[in-house]
């Protein structure tokens, strides 16, 4: 029986976002090298369905009521925040925060390099008094994107007040980290039955393909990276053949543990693994499958010494997909991938 891990409370990788706040200035500049193609990062900014999946600091969600993606067009949305911090200057304040953005420049053409988005963030109760203005640039770096997000608050007094009272710098780092998680891991998520209600992680990792395969196929190595810490695998069975057993025993904080039983459906050495929790070894139907999902992991050559590493989880229903996402698919698989890279670079 597969027992899902408790929801992952993993820290966002905010340290990978560089923040510049000049003393006496009016700017907050966030920059980050995102491990995803520029087109995917741009789409995350310009598709309201995707914006709702990453916009805002940790714990926030977004509901869009109007989206006009054109110069002069408006994006009207409400941010739903977590329960207010008792230590904040606004204890007991509302969970809903109305927002309005007007796009002032959209530049994605062959002669625009880098690509640009510029907008005014308006006061909720007026259309002619911007709270601040932002300029976002998207610079292609092979299959990666250098994102630079500059917010201009007009005065150092307002900027410093928002940093002090509302955590503007930290909020920007968390928002950019959520964008990176989304584009690096979920750029091609599908919600339709025809696509198997997919969740997907895809990134280029600085490890040769044979080493990534080794991390997945060696029972002595897999436990060292497969679970995001503080969870761990203390034993496993990798019977690498179609119908072979794929078993992990996981342990975690507060005495949590779980047996995860499944089987391999497809084994192509060095290229692809497919496994499922719907079947036990030798094609026996699982009596109590966990997420009711099938996972394909692909290993493709990228640049020299690099691998395009892709994991696709297909689910039996939209509800199963949503549950898996909520339990931390992207954060968990992303962190495990980082651990795989660190391990293989250490021992190779």
Domain boundaries, the chain: 14-185, 193-347
pLDDT in tens, 255-302: 999 999 999 999 999 999 999 999 999 999 999 887 789 999 999 888
Q: Comparing C-alpha atoms, which of 58, 229, 226, 35 is closest to residue 145?
A: 35
What would the mean pLDDT of 116-126 be, rounded to a whole number? 81
Is 3.30.530.20 the CATH number for 14-185?
yes
Tell me the sheet residues that pair with 120. 102, 133
From the centroid of its chain, how far is CA 58? 12
- State the Cα–Cα distance between residues 210 and 265, nearest whole angstrom: 21
Residue showing tokens 């410093």: 160
Task: Tell me: pLDDT of 162 over 80.
Answer: yes
Whether the ω angle into residue 212 lies within 30 degrees of 0, i.e. cis, is: no
The DSSP H or E segment spanning 41 is: helix 38-46
C-alpha–C-alpha distance, residues 62 and 45, integer Å: 13
pLDDT at 184 (0 to 100): 77
pLDDT for 186: 46
pLDDT tens digits for 181-190?
A: 888 764 444 5
Q: Pick the residue with more confidence: 139 or 181?
A: 139
Q: Which two tokens stand for residue 91?
A: 């204890």
Do 14-185 and 193-347 fold alike per CATH?
yes
Are the beta carbons of 280 and 245 closer than 8 angstroms?
yes
Beta partners for residue 148, in sequence order: 31, 137
Cβ-contact 303, 203 below 8 angstroms:
no
Distance CA(133)–CA(119), nearest Å, equals 6
Predicted structure pTM score: 0.55
**Residue 285 CB contacts under 8 Å (≥ 6 apart), including other chains:** 278, 279
Contact 268, 241 (CB under 8 A): no
Choice between 61 and 42, residue whose per-residue pLDDT is larger? 42
Q: What is the model's pLDDT at position 215?
A: 98
CATH number of 193-347: 3.30.530.20
């Amino acid at each position: 029986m597969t027992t899902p891990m408790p929801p992952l409370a993993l820290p966002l990788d905010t340290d990978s976002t560089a923040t510049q706040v000049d003393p006496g200035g009016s700017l907050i500049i966030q920059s980050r090298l995102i491990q995803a193609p520029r087109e995917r990062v741009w789409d995350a900014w310009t598709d309201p369905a995707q914006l709702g999946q990453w916009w805002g600091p940790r714990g926030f969600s977004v509901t869009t009521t109007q989206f006009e993606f054109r110069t002069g067009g408006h994006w009207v949305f409400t941010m739903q925040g977590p329960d207010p911090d008792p230590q904040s200057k606004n204890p007991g304040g509302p969970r809903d925060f109305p927002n309005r953005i007007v796009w002032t420049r959209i530049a994605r053409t062959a002669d625009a390099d880098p690509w640009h988005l510029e907008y005014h963030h308006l006061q909720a109760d007026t259309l002619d008094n911007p709270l601040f203005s932002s300029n976002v640039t998207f610079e292609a770096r092979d299959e990666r994107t250098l994102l630079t997000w500059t917010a201009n608050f007009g005065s150092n007094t307002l900027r410093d007040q928002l940093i002090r009272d509302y955590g503007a710098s930290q909020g920007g780092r968390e928002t950019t980290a959520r964008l990176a998680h989304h584009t690096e891991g979920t750029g091609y998520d599908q919600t339709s039955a025809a696509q198997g209600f997919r969740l997907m992680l895809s990134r280029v990792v600085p490890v040769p393909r044979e080493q990534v395969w080794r991390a997945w196929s060696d029972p002595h190595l897999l436990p060292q990276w497969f679970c995001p810490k503080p969870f761990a695998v203390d034993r496993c069975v990798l019977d690498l053949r179609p119908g072979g057993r794929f078993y992990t025993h996981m342990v975690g904080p507060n005495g949590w543990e779980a047996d995860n039983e499944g089987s391999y459906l497809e084994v192509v050495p060095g290229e692809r693994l497919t496994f499922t929790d719907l079947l036990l070894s030798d094609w026996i139907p699982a009596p109590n499958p966990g997420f009711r999902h099938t996972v394909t992991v692909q290993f493709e050559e990228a640049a020299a010494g690099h691998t395009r590493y892709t994991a696709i989880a297909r689910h039996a229903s939209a509800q199963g997909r949503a549950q898996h996402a909520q339990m931390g698919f992207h954060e968990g698989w992303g962190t495990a991938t980082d651990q795989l890279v660190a391990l293989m670079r250490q021992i190779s």
